[in-house]
Structure 1
Amino acid sequence: MTYLKWVLTVLGLGTVLATGMVASADADYDQALKTAPQGISLDNIFVPGTTSNNQASIVNTANPDITGTQAAKVNNGKKQFGALWSTTDNHFDLTKNMKSSMWMYFGNTGKKAADGMALVFQNDTRGLAATPTYGKTVSGETLGVWGVDTDKKQTTPDKLASTAIQNSWALEFDTHLNTSTNYGNTGDADSFDVGISGPHIASNYPGEVSTYEMVRTSTLLPIYSVGYYATQTHAGTITGDYTMLSNGAWHHLTIDWQASTKQMTYTFDDKDPNTGKKQTGKSASVTLDTTKIDPNNTGQVRWGFTGATGDSYENNLVIFEEIPGLVEVDANATLTDMTQNKVVDNDGIVKGGDKVRLDYQLSYEGGKQEWKDVVAQLKLPSKLSFTKGTITYADGTSTAVDLSGLDSERELTVKLAKALSSNNQTATISFTGTADEVTEPASVTGLTSTFTAVNGVETASTVDFTLNPTQEVLLASLNGTTFSADDGDVTVKGRSLCQTVPT
């Protein structure tokens, strides 16, 4: 083979390999958008940061089963910095109780994933241009918010802290462990996670000196030399294995801010990504020193997501369900056995033939905007036959629900004719009908329905329950007469003849 042919062959192979890598990454990115959960539009709510190296953007999702949903793309390549920040009209209000919920995606590469992303609250004077102070290249360890540890000669963390986004608090979702402690890695920005055992969620103040500790290390060869690396203090840590974050699934996050106690609670994986049903998840709480993130006591902070990658990367995406202060709404589902006159609890029992009512209660709890043009994507429980549907509003008006659209999958789409607001705070979608007759006990799984508008998404799940057959009681008298009672109470007078039946 000639030298020229050899070079062309190597170049061709490199192109194939490079193309294959890009195709693989794009396949994961495309799959994430195709399986995206229902969220809201981010127009005029979040915008990309204004630094020249920012690679973050807002993209449309590709799931045909959802509507009006946009995603924040934080990172999707090597050596990237990404940041998306709230607009001025959508700052986080520290003086009020606030809640936000969102879905997050961290790729599908497990142990090879890097580096993660961070939810950041900041009052950096650079505003939309806030960024760590990088040198010639981006350091993935920073996750787009922490200090840049590239000076092996710094003995104290003062300079390191000054390179982070200032006046900030960050909640990191770290997919890649940075645990180098050798002299040869000092100055490589690869030691923040020393002492951490796996991918983790944790928080602290990126611009505070107390967040970091410089550790001295040395080498004897080729000559005696001393260097320093930085470790990071992690607060409110939630840890897991390499399937915790970058596992090809969307992960739900809820944050809850209590203004009076200054406590932030974050709960991860509190919804099932396949069904949307609420689950316990993993939770931690931290108390924030608001003087560190709001030194001028404005009561407001800009907030958003940042990310950074080094030589490895993952696809980082965020879809929002609820933006604090925009619309604050709630949804619940209640199943009532009207025959028994009781609410059916989770894992409760309903008897075949009983009259039932299913209520979806929607409530408006506040916000800058009305919750309008709400579309209810309902999934009704099986083995309940409904004959009537009604939507009743707080203002006393009501409309009928057309049940002809209920398909074989028990799905029904209903649009609310009225907006929910401070003047019309609730809407209840009610269905009445009868439990099916069965010949043996049947388990009915609860289903999650979604209530969607351009400015807020809520979900509500029905309970799991067992549908029991109607028990017919047969009473035989000594003279051969037989009585039956398939419902209600029966009073029997006389002598009972009992036989023990082995079990």
Structure 2
Amino acid sequence: MLLKRVLLGIILGLVGINFGWEIKARAQGLSDQGHASLDKIVEKAPQGIDISSYFEIGSIPENSASLIKTNYGENQAVYLTNGPDQLGTIWTKNGAAMPLDKDQTASMWMFFDKGGYSTGSGDGMAFVMQNDSRGSNASALDENHSPAAGETLGVWGDATGKVLPDADTIAGRAIQNSWALEFDTYPNQVWKNGLAEKLKAGQQSLFDEGSVGDTLNRGKNNFGVAIAKGYPHIASGYPGMSTTYQIKQFDKWKYATMKHEGVLNEGNAFLANGEWHHVTLAWKHAEKSMTYTFNDKDPQTGKDTPESQKTYTVKNMDLQELDPKGTGKVRWGFTGSTGKSWESNLVVFEKVPGLVDVNAKAVLTDTTDNNRVVKTDDSIKAGHQVKLDYDLSYASGWEPWRKVEANIDLPKNLSFTNGVITYSNGQTEDLSLNDLKGQDIKTKLAQNLYKSINENSKTPKDSQHATLSLNGQAVLPGKEVASVPATTSKFIGENAVTTATLNGFKVKSVDDPISLQWTGDSVTGNMVVSDGKDVTLTGKVSRLSGLDGIKLHVNLDAKIQMDEEGNFTLKMPSDQLQAKTTQLKVSASDANGINSTNVLEYTITQRLLELSADPDLTFGQYALTGRSDKIYPKGTFNVSVVDTGESRPGWQLTASLNSDTLMTENEERALDGKLTYVAPATQQGVVASGLEQWKDLSRQSIVIATSQETKPETKTPNETLIAGDSDGPRGLLLHLNSSAIPGQYSGQITWELKNAL
């Protein structure tokens, strides 16, 4: 093996650009109240989409909202508030308005900081749909027509001022022509001064006496009065309608309260508990209904959590209030506010309604059992063939679902042999299992998913659906039954993220199973072979009732033979081996289609033996002194051997010069000296022939190094350094005699690496 290689190093500089907005710094000294730091919040943030193309920061004065990056990239989260007395708003751009004449889904992750009554978190956020004439400048206003924060959450009418306003005035200060879903994090209950005994029957929110007097005399909002125990809560309503607000009286005090629809709550830590919460909103245009669901996914795993979710459906929404001009669209976004009590409020978007509405579902089918769909806690018999489908569908939107990556979490106790991706336009592509790591596989869809607006278009048929199908079988090594937990896979595009959860099921043993095992030297499950060597493996098939009708199957083109006792021999020709690693799988089945309960796997790695040598070497200029001397090269000269196999029987490296010594141009004069290779005695794993530490290079090939039975000292796990060691002289050395004559000398070295096989 002769090899010369020129190595070129390229350095690529990447310049990071921040497309977000500047984050307003909060006051110093507030972190000791127990609020989470932004670094900790972002560290746990789930994956979303870059929203910079679809949203804009509201144009109100001193807007605290900003776009920030997470571990998944730039502009992944909107940071609404991060200190006291703030108001943050963010709205969809004009082109990203939500159409009301189609079903839509919005999903996002929301963070409310650590809180509850003890740390005084407040006030929260609101999801808002609106057709306010102010557009992105819309917000709640105070009596001075300035943006109002605090309990208004930036959307509800404001009741503060010198005089308590009436319901019409309060409604006029809200965002007009709107519907809001509030996430109110401020606990309203206070037990003090015996006021609980003074409250009238049925009044469920308790204030301290000073607070009630101060609030009601000065006309501040008391919107949380109607909530049981004053807990933090989720609720909805129409901010710009006067019927949303009521003026009530307690003893000599009047105060304003608010009508809440669809209240969801569960104690003080319901929202502000320092965790990310998933929220899904589903608009059904035919029913004019909006369903909101809270805590329907686990932030760590992304799995559906039906046991912990809370949901409510608002029926027959008032579109005359929401869209009085009949535009058929609404602008939507988030508002968030704080008062003296504050918190960090953040949102990460998965689905933007109107942009891309996509869905995914997972279906497992037992193809051996008449194509039976496997439902929750159903059982599959070990050895049955199965098909696992992930169906991706594009419902609607004004953009294609672009650059979709499938992160599939495959269920345990299923062994897969092949896969395919099928698009609704009839095109297909292989779903490669080469990148399978454990039970996880990642693959990118070659096509975007979309639906043409013009149904008469002459363009190719729409790619509105894609099905990722995997074929395999149920396996059950050494057990009677295995409970397979639910798995959730994520499908991530540039403009939408969705998930599909496959429910849990069981794999049970069969009464008379077919089992397989490797035997002899094959029990290791892996080997390293040299180029041109065929592979022979041995194994055994077992079944209590006998082996009649049993056939063996191998995933590659190999010859396999079985005797009457179930012993089999598999021969794999060398030309069938992959370039580096070959994954071999063996299974068995009977005439009834029952498969072996396990699949034998074997890893074959081809031995890679490679020589790497720098193409050029220079000793530079040297002033003759009339004395003999030793000259080392200028700069590092690298030679190394890469061997991915075992050291036995190893390799041999030789080197030879194209002449007896270095020569001048046209070979007019020979250098009075010798070019040698130096191998220090301290060098381990590379042995020089004889006792000398240096070797004279001449026309005759000289053995430079050989591998040993013990693993040599290496530069990297499989690389032995021959020349270029910075720890001492290792490599080429010029022995110059005292009678050397000035001139420019050169030569050519041939390095030869031989496989001992």
Q: Normalising TM by the smaller chain, what interval?
A: 0.7 to 0.9
2:256 and 2:52 map into 1 onto residues whose CA distance is 39
CA distance in 1, matches of 2:99, 2:425: 30
Contact 2:160 2:221 survives alignment (8 Å): no
By how many angstroms is 1:415 displaced?
A: 0.2
Deviation at 1:43, TM superposition (A): 1.7
TM-score normalised by length of structure 2? 0.57
Which of 438, 442, 449 is the equivalent residue of 1:413? 442
SS of the residue corresponding to residue 110 of structure 1 reads: coil
| Contact map agreement 1:442 1:468 (CA 8 A) in 2 | yes
- Residues in 1 aligned to 2:184 and 2:227: alpha-carbon distance in whole angstroms: 11
2:470 maps to which of 417, 431, 443: 431
> 1:141 Cα deviation (Å)?
0.6
Query: For 1:466, which of 492, 499, 506 is the aligned residue?
Result: 506
Q: In angstroms, what is the RMSD of aligned CA positions? A: 2.4
Q: Which moved more, 1:188-197 or 1:288-297?
A: 188-197
| Map 1:112-261 → 2, pairs under 5 A | 112-134=120-142, 138-151=148-161, 153-154=163-164, 156-178=166-188, 180=207, 182-186=212-216, 187=218, 189-197=220-228, 198-217=231-250, 227-261=253-287
| Residue of structure 1 equivalent to 2:369 | 340
Task: Give the aligned partner of residue 285 of structure 1.
Answer: 313
Q: CA deviation at 1:215?
A: 2.2
Relative distance call for 1:355 and 1:460 in structure 2 (3 A) is same
Q: Which residue of 1 aligns with 2:78?
A: 72
The verdict on how the C-alpha distance between 1:230 and 1:487 changes in structure 2, with shifts beyond 3 A counting, is farther
Q: Which has the higher contact order (CA 8 A, sep 6+)?
A: 1
2:48 corresponds in structure 1 to 39
Q: CA deviation at 1:373?
A: 0.9
Aligned residues: 453
Distance of aligned partners of 1:121 and 1:447 in 2 relative to their CA distance in 1, 3 Å threshold: same
Structure 1 counterpart SS, 2:225: coil
**How has the CA–CA distance of structure 1 residues 462 and 150 changed in structure 2, closer, same or farther, with 3 Å as cutoff?**
same
TM-score computed with the length of structure 1 as normaliser: 0.84
* Partner deviation per Cα, 1:388-434 (whole Å, 9 max, x = no partner): 121111122211122121113x2111000111112111111111122
Counterpart AA for 1:380: L
Counterpart position of 2:336: 307
Q: Which amino acid aligns with 1:456?
A: A
Secondary structure at the aligned position of 1:291 is classed as: helix
1:81-127 CA-to-partner distances (Å, cap 9, x unmatched) read 01000100011222322221111111122333211110111122211
| Map 1:302-381 → 2, pairs under 5 A | 302-341=331-370, 342-381=372-411
> Distance between the aligned counterparts of 2:186 and 2:489, measured in 1?
35
**Cα deviation code 1:16-37 (max 9, x no counterpart):** xx85633776744322211111
Structure 1 residue 227: deviation in Å? 4.7
Aligned to 2:635: none
Structure 1 contact 39–68 (Cα < 8 Å) conserved: no
**Shift in CA distance, 58/378, structure 1 to aligned 2, threshold 3 Å:** same
Match of 2:60, SS?
A: coil
Point out the more displaced range, 67-76 or 264-273. 67-76
Identity of aligned residues (%): 42
Alignment check: 8 A CA contact 1:40 1:68 kept: no
Q: Secondary structure at the match of 1:459?
A: strand
SS in 2 for 1:149: coil
Amino acid at match of 1:196: I
Aligned residue for 1:402, secondary structure, equals coil
Partner Cα separation in structure 2 for residue 387 and residue 214 of structure 1: 69
What letter matches 2:396 in structure 1? G
1:68: how far off? Answer: 6.5
CA distance in structure 1 between the aligned counterparts of 2:242 and 2:101, rounded to whole angstroms: 26
Amino acid in structure 2 at the alignment position of 1:322: K
C-alpha distance in 1 between matches for 2:169 and 2:147: 18
Cα deviation code 1:318-358 (max 9, x no counterpart):
11111122112111111112222311111111222222221
Deviation at 1:152, TM superposition (A): 5.3
Distance in 1 separating the partners of 2:75 and 2:338: 26
Q: In terms of mean alpha carbon deviation, does 185-194 or 227-236 score higher?
A: 185-194
Letter aligned with residue 367 of structure 1: G
CA deviation profile, 1:249-292 (whole Å, cap 9, x unmatched)? 21111112222332211111122222212233211122321111
More helix per residue: 1
Structure number, greater radius of gyration: 2
Structure 1 segment 52-91 matched on structure 2, within 5 A: 52-62=61-71, 66=72, 70-91=76-97
CA distance in 2, matches of 1:93, 1:358: 35
CA distance in 2, matches of 1:237, 1:26: 26
For 2:242 and 2:232, locate their aligned partners in 1 and report how far apart those are by CA, in whole Å.
Answer: 24
Runs (5+) with no aligned partner, structure 2: 1-26, 189-204, 452-461, 514-543, 548-588, 593-757
* Paired AA for residue 499 in structure 2: T
**1:158 partner SS:** helix
Q: Secondary structure at the match of 1:194?
A: helix
2:225 and 2:250 map into 1 onto residues whose CA distance is: 14
